[in-house]
Structure 1
Amino acid sequence: MLGVGTFIDDEGGYTTVAVAVALLLSVSLVFSAASAQWVSARSGEVQQVADAAAASGANAVAAYATIAQTLDACVLSMGLAGMVTCGAGLVASCVPPLAATGAELVSCGTQVLSARRDFSRSAASGLRTLEAALPAIVVSNSAACVLANSEEGLAYAGCAVPFPQRSQSDFSALEADVDDSAAEQLAQQMRELAAKEREAKERADAARERGWRADCGERPYCLWQRAQTLAGLGDGENPCYPSADSWSFGAPLQRARAYYAARLGSCSVDGPGAEQLTDDVCRRAFYEFALGEVRRGSYAESPDGGVEIDLPSLPHNADETRATTLYTDAAWPCSAAEGGRVLHSSMKCPGADGGFCGTASLADLEAGSVLKCGECRMSVGELGRAAAASTSIENGFEHWWREVVEASKDYQKAKKEEVEARKQLKEKAEQGSDMFKRAIDALTVTRPKLCPPGAYGCVAVVARGEAAAVPSELTSVFLSAAALPPGAAVSGAALAPDDSTAENNVLASFFDGVSADGSLAGSMADGVATLWGRLLVGYGSAYGSVAEAGGGFLDKLDGVLGGSAGSWLKRRLGEIMETCGLTPSDMRLRKPVLVNTREILGQAGYDKASTVRGLINELPDSGDVSAYVRAFAGWALDTYGDEDFTVAELTVPGTELKIPLKVNLKKLAGAL
């Protein structure tokens, strides 16, 4: 019988047997610990595979989110670019020299909006289709990830399931139309009114120039020079204006009042003979009449730019005299005679020897009610000749007054037409402003509400089969054979913005891609493609970029003068863009992060335990995982066509060219 002596000798030391047993036990413990460590390490890998599967499923949702946001940015920025271009066209239509540019811009803007209309509809349809395929893509992509981790004797089966499982997105905002039907007609009306305003202004300016020349600008004679020479008026009563810019029709009116007052005050009636007496009396009567007329005359400017001018026309012959009070007023003295009363120019007339016998008018004389004097021969013809000479020749004051009066009538008529055209143009500009605001509001107030499958997150369930055995090199000598028991793990992943991608503008790369061949920019008016690019790239901070990019585009319209309808409309459109209320979009790329599955399932309205249990029961045998991947990926590809799925088609404005925007479903689904 073996006893203690077998292991300890008589001297108290260990025997060879004791050393051999100790070594055998130590080696057995080392291999047992290594086996336990292997089992522990490999059994925990199922959780890592589940985490990877959940992240893989969420990656497919992240790819969809990038696609959807890019398409929304295109639709929004194209709408804004089209409306800003139409707005610029309306502004240019208010300025006659820019009429051709305005027509081109409005046409280009409506083409952009038409392209946006087609693109938004195809994008909405494509996103619906892509969302319908997204659950299968999530399952296929995650199952492929699980399959890729089945190696070294360990077989896994599992996949990720998106929650919600069905789309809850609302794409109605993408399909909302922008009403630009009235833009071209409105621009045409504005161009016509602007041309009418300009033509009236040119006529008014020409009439003003004529009036100024007659008053101050002609040499050697003009109204100013005649007033200075004939009436001796000084600069205070008779100012000279160096140009028409500082002159108005009120100036000759004031000059005429001073002139006729001076001429009347210096006019004497003391001719030596009857004929001279008649000339003096007629001249005095004319000056008195003219002074009364010009004093009743008026000139006033309205705040809207219109004028009210009443410069009296003075008679310069007998016919015109008959149309005045000089003809109808009973202002002429009469004397008694055998045949009746005789009308004289003055009672100083040698023929007025019968004594004063009341007054009569020249109309009475021509009607035969009174007789004509044979000495002074006073008649309407004599009175008409008083102004005829000075009106018919260039050195007469009345000649230039007549020129001023005729110019004032043309000026008033042209200014009235100019003001009316400007008023109508302002009304059209207000209509354009209202149309622009409605369109911008329609574009910016409502955006698509995206809630695709997987928006809450993806839950992955992965199971490990029984085939995995502990490596024989760890068990064959010292331990009995052992196998890794079955196991399962659950994991959840949701999308979170990646701060490191804040400056990674995917939209800039997208725009560079669609415009790389030059066909996009070449088909649009100068600067419009650049405008769209700025609005597209600025989608992440669109509330600021709209005013900046749109305002910069409007500022390129040279020749829009302040105070005009075009200037008002330009400023108003800028204000609308500044206050359009477009909130910024978060353009950071999304990446999967692991989260508690309870958060995902709870948000989707599911119970965690029962849902996970049901998912585990649905898992295929480990040997069928490859077929599982092919089944889901194949369904997506068979249902939605080629491996390259066209999500939307971008029509190049003004052409029949369409740029397809494609997604490779095979790569997205992880198909084998």
Structure 2
Amino acid sequence: MADGPRFGDRGRARAFLGIDAFVDETGGYTSVSVAVALLVSLALTCSLVSVGWVQRRSADVQTVADACALAGANVVSSYATVATVLDACVLTMGLAGMVTLGAGLVVSAIPGLGAAGAKTVDAARQVFDSRGRFARSAARGLKKVEGTLPLAIVSRSAAVAQESGSWTGVAMPFPVESQSDFSALDVEVDPTEAAEAARRLQEASDRAKEARDRADEAMREAWLADCGADGMCLRERADALAGLAPVSNPSYVLPLWTFGAPLTRARAYYAARLASEAPLGQGTDELTNSAARKAFYEYALEQVGRGHYEQLPDGGVDLDLPQLFSNVEQLRATTLYSASRWPCTQEGGRTVLHASMECPGARGASAGTASLVALDAGSVARCDTCRMDAQAMGSAPAASTSIDNGFEHYWRIVSEASERYERARNDLAEAEAQMRELAGEGKSAYECAMEALAVPRPRLCPPGAWGCVAVVTSGEREVPAEVTGAFLADSAVPAGAAVAAATLAPDSAAEGNDVLSRFFGAISEGMDGADAGVLGNIGSLWGELLVGYESAAGNVEAAATKILDGIDGVLGTSVSSWLRDMAKEAIRDAGLAPADLRPRKPVLTNSQYVLDKAGYDHVSSVRDFVSKLPDTADPVEFARALGREVKNELGTRIGKVTIAELTIPGTEITIPITIDVGELLGAA
């Protein structure tokens, strides 16, 4: 019989059963060891998978909440774009009207362009009428859209939660109700007062044009008679008859010529003729003729010496180029007829008047002098030898006045033209004075219209302007058994909730005026093939202002300067130049702040920021929102459960709805501005 194992052998057996099951005699791992290691690894892996799944599913509620908040803010972003475009249209249409009205005032002040000024002012009036109708329709439409925004935000955000899986959630806008102020869109820019000033300016400028034409015609006629004609004229006659040197007998081109030129020339001419006057032959008749000519030259020199020409500060003239007599009737109205200048002698008991003491009939004693008036009255007798009387005196200038080879012939033309010129220039000065007065009235009216246009822009604070707060919950969910059932007991992810908030931030990387460029392009396409009316003429101006709305102040001034400086004839009148500068200054000083047209994009933000701005306590409000969320897919019920009533102000029809209408000035064409209600509200 074999001996049983000794004590030491039993110890070795126990050691074999504890370690040798995993490690053999050579130090290698046994099959049992490998199996156990694999089992432990699988258990740990399944545990980690389960933990990861639970963590990921737990975090999904926050992701869905973020998506809901962004979806709500995206609705607000779309509305902000629409509102900005409509406001830009209203403002820039008003600006286009103001530039056109300013151009109308300027053109109205240019003599001869009254009809064009009236047409331009009427165009401005039509632009303002269209702007007013468009602004009113835009205000009504935007109010309806803002009234529907809460429903749109709730619908779009709830749809996102539903599409993401088994989530229940909604985003609420803050503020819930609109706090926008559209009163600025209702402000009427009334151009009536400025248009009336323009109408009166047109009348005054037409009178100025007529007076200027008369003045120019009279001046040209006088210039031709003085020195402008190629043939005989005052200058040529002064040279031929008196031998005046060129320094005393200059020639002028019309722009440099004034009525002072013929006056100075006449003084030199009559002084020379008087100094050189002598009988041209023998005989008593020539003695009488020479005496008459000398008397006429003395009289003419005296008259032209008293003549004057002065340009007055107001643009009128004080002008006197005296007419000289050319017959007996005219002689009797002069001082030469009444002056006691003719020598007399006592002949046979009578006082006899002579042409000169050299008269052969002057044989008696001197009896002083007498006038032709006295001769005609019979106070003195006419000399039968020299036969000096009013007829002889009146004949002296008659021939040189009535035919075109005499100096007096051209002087009469100049003198008569000077009278017409003086009347015309003074009428012109009066008309221009009235224009300056009316221009002041037009300036005040224009500035009032600009003040109405420059009122603060509409204040946009629609629902969701501060942000949208989303609250999302998820129910308890089982961990998938096919992943961990072989190693772990059944487990579930408990119910959870998450809150998120989103607001709008400007996208600096985007071009703000792209949307306005596209909008104006669409409006232009709407006018293709149709009579564009007034807008066809000023459409480019409006387009330039609209597309440049982002820096409105600079663009308006540049556009106004280009339009106003491009008006022909402005430099021809100080009134129109002043009005042009006034219009540019009024536009420059209107204080039009540049608009920020950068697109607003939704960004996540701290929900506490939004709730604090709305006046809610953050923690308690979130708990309250979570507790009130119903188990329903109806976004309206979501909102009602949170104490908010939402409704559709745009109507029940899902499709395009007109929110504003743009009437093309001067036409019956109306272009609707629409939004898609279905796209706004979303699938829900």
TM-score (norm 2): 0.90
Q: Does the aligned pair in 2 maintain the 1:173–1:448 contact within 8 Å?
A: yes
Q: Does the aligned pair in 2 maintain the 1:6–1:18 contact within 8 Å?
A: no
With 434-443 and 390-399 compared, the bigger mean Cα shift is at 434-443
Which residues of 2 match residues 44-59 of structure 1 at below 5 A?
A: 44-59=59-74
Corresponding residue number in structure 2 for 1:144: 159
Among candidates 207, 217, 223, match of residue 206 of structure 1: 217
With 637-646 and 167-176 compared, the bigger mean Cα shift is at 637-646
Which residues of 2 match residues 504-653 of structure 1 at below 5 A?
A: 505-519=514-528, 522-524=532-534, 526-558=536-568, 560-563=570-573, 565-621=575-631, 623-624=632-633, 628=637, 636-637=647-648, 640-643=651-654, 644-653=656-665
Secondary structure (helix, strand or coil) at the match of 2:657 reads strand
List per-residue Cα deviations over 1:599-633 (Å, max 9, x = no partner): 21222222212222222232112x44567479999
Q: Does the aligned pair in 2 maintain the 1:269–1:277 contact within 8 Å?
A: yes
Corresponding residue number in structure 2 for 1:483: 492
Q: Does the aligned pair in 2 maintain the 1:444–1:580 contact within 8 Å?
A: yes
List per-residue Cα deviations over 1:410-455 (Å, max 9, x = no partner): 2222222233333333444444444333333332342111111111
Matched, 1:374 2:384: yes
Q: Does the aligned pair in 2 maintain the 1:250–1:299 contact within 8 Å?
A: yes
List per-residue Cα deviations over 1:443-482 (Å, max 9, x = no partner): 234211111111111111111122x111111342222211
Matched, 1:158 2:169: yes
CA distance in 1 between partners of 2:183 and 2:473 (Å): 41
Which residues of 2 match residues 313-328 of structure 1 at below 5 A?
A: 313-328=323-338
Q: Does the aligned pair in 1 maintain the 2:181–2:458 contact within 8 Å?
A: yes
Secondary structure (helix, strand or coil) at the match of 1:330 reads coil
Corresponding residue number in structure 1 for 2:6: none
CA distance in 1 between partners of 2:32 and 2:18 (Å): 6
List per-residue Cα deviations over 1:469-519 (Å, max 9, x = no partner): 111113422222111111111111110011221266101111111221335
Q: Does the aligned pair in 2 maintain the 1:469–1:483 contact within 8 Å?
A: yes
Matched, 1:402 2:412: yes
Corresponding residue number in structure 2 for 1:134: 149
CA distance in 2 between partners of 1:49 and 1:612 (Å): 16
Among candidates 504, 515, 535, match of residue 495 of structure 1: 504
CA distance in 2 between partners of 1:451 and 1:336 (Å): 115
**Cα distance change on mapping 1:23 and 1:225 into 2, 3 Å:** closer
Corresponding residue number in structure 2 for 1:123: 138
Q: CA deviation at 1:376?
A: 3.1
List per-residue Cα deviations over 1:571-601 (Å, max 9, x = no partner): 4433443443322111111111111122212
CA distance in 2 between partners of 1:458 and 1:3 (Å): 72
Which residues of 2 match residues 52-201 of structure 1 at below 5 A?
A: 52-95=67-110, 100-150=115-165, 155-201=166-212
Secondary structure (helix, strand or coil) at the match of 1:91 reads helix
Corresponding residue number in structure 2 for 1:224: 235
Q: CA deviation at 1:310?
A: 0.6
Q: CA deviation at 1:337?
A: 5.3
List per-residue Cα deviations over 1:132-162 (Å, max 9, x = no partner): 2212221221111111112xxxx22221111
Q: CA deviation at 1:304?
A: 4.8
Give 1:660's aligned amino acid. Answer: P
Secondary structure (helix, strand or coil) at the match of 2:526 reads coil
CA distance in 2 between partners of 1:670 and 1:528 (Å): 40
**Cα distance change on mapping 1:351 and 1:525 into 2, 3 Å:** farther
Among candidates 441, 456, 462, match of residue 451 of structure 2: 441
Corresponding residue number in structure 1 for 2:7: none
**Cα distance change on mapping 1:98 and 1:322 into 2, 3 Å:** closer
Q: Number of residues paired by the alignment?
A: 664
CA distance in 1 between partners of 2:494 and 2:359 (Å): 150
Corresponding residue number in structure 2 for 1:257: 267
Q: Does the aligned pair in 2 maintain the 1:94–1:194 contact within 8 Å?
A: yes
With 317-326 and 546-555 compared, the bigger mean Cα shift is at 546-555
Give 1:163's aligned amino acid. Answer: F
**Cα distance change on mapping 1:147 and 1:270 into 2, 3 Å:** closer
**Cα distance change on mapping 1:388 and 1:504 into 2, 3 Å:** closer
Secondary structure (helix, strand or coil) at the match of 1:133 reads helix
Corresponding residue number in structure 1 for 2:674: 662
Q: Does the aligned pair in 1 maintain the 2:225–2:414 contact within 8 Å?
A: yes
CA distance in 1 between partners of 2:512 and 2:74 (Å): 20
With 250-259 and 579-588 compared, the bigger mean Cα shift is at 579-588
With 575-584 and 224-233 compared, the bigger mean Cα shift is at 575-584
Corresponding residue number in structure 2 for 1:293: 303
Gaps of 5+ in 2: 1-12
CA distance in 1 between partners of 2:345 and 2:296 (Å): 23
Q: Does the aligned pair in 1 maintain the 2:513–2:547 contact within 8 Å?
A: no
Q: Does the aligned pair in 1 maintain the 2:513–2:550 contact within 8 Å?
A: no
How large is the RMSD of aligned CA atoms in angstroms? 2.9
TM-score (norm 1): 0.91
CA distance in 2 between partners of 1:144 and 1:5 (Å): 67
CA distance in 2 between partners of 1:4 and 1:469 (Å): 46
Q: Does the aligned pair in 1 maintain the 2:75–2:152 contact within 8 Å?
A: yes
Q: CA deviation at 1:662?
A: 1.5
Which residues of 2 match residues 242-391 of structure 1 at below 5 A?
A: 243-268=253-278, 273-336=283-346, 341-391=351-401
Give 1:647's aligned amino acid. Answer: I
With 516-525 and 105-114 compared, the bigger mean Cα shift is at 516-525
With 35-44 and 439-448 compared, the bigger mean Cα shift is at 439-448
CA distance in 2 between partners of 1:326 and 1:137 (Å): 104
List per-residue Cα deviations over 1:362-420 (Å, max 9, x = no partner): 22333333333333333222221222222122222111111111111122222222333
Secondary structure (helix, strand or coil) at the match of 1:159 reads strand
With 299-308 and 209-218 compared, the bigger mean Cα shift is at 299-308
Q: CA deviation at 1:78?
A: 0.8
CA distance in 2 between partners of 1:86 and 1:211 (Å): 41
Q: Does the aligned pair in 2 maintain the 1:157–1:625 contact within 8 Å?
A: no
CA distance in 1 between partners of 2:69 and 2:462 (Å): 16
CA distance in 1 between partners of 2:464 and 2:579 (Å): 47
CA distance in 2 between partners of 1:163 and 1:37 (Å): 36
With 53-62 and 652-661 compared, the bigger mean Cα shift is at 652-661
CA distance in 2 between partners of 1:444 and 1:528 (Å): 21
CA distance in 1 between partners of 2:535 and 2:461 (Å): 37
CA distance in 2 between partners of 1:490 and 1:598 (Å): 10
Secondary structure (helix, strand or coil) at the match of 2:67 reads helix
CA distance in 2 between partners of 1:224 and 1:599 (Å): 94
Give 1:471's aligned amino acid. Answer: P
Matched, 1:471 2:480: yes
Q: CA deviation at 1:199?
A: 2.8
Corresponding residue number in structure 2 for 1:419: 429
CA distance in 2 between partners of 1:639 and 1:616 (Å): 30
With 452-461 and 518-527 compared, the bigger mean Cα shift is at 518-527
Q: CA deviation at 1:171?
A: 1.0
Corresponding residue number in structure 1 for 2:683: 671
CA distance in 2 between partners of 1:568 and 1:374 (Å): 72
Secondary structure (helix, strand or coil) at the match of 1:35 reads helix
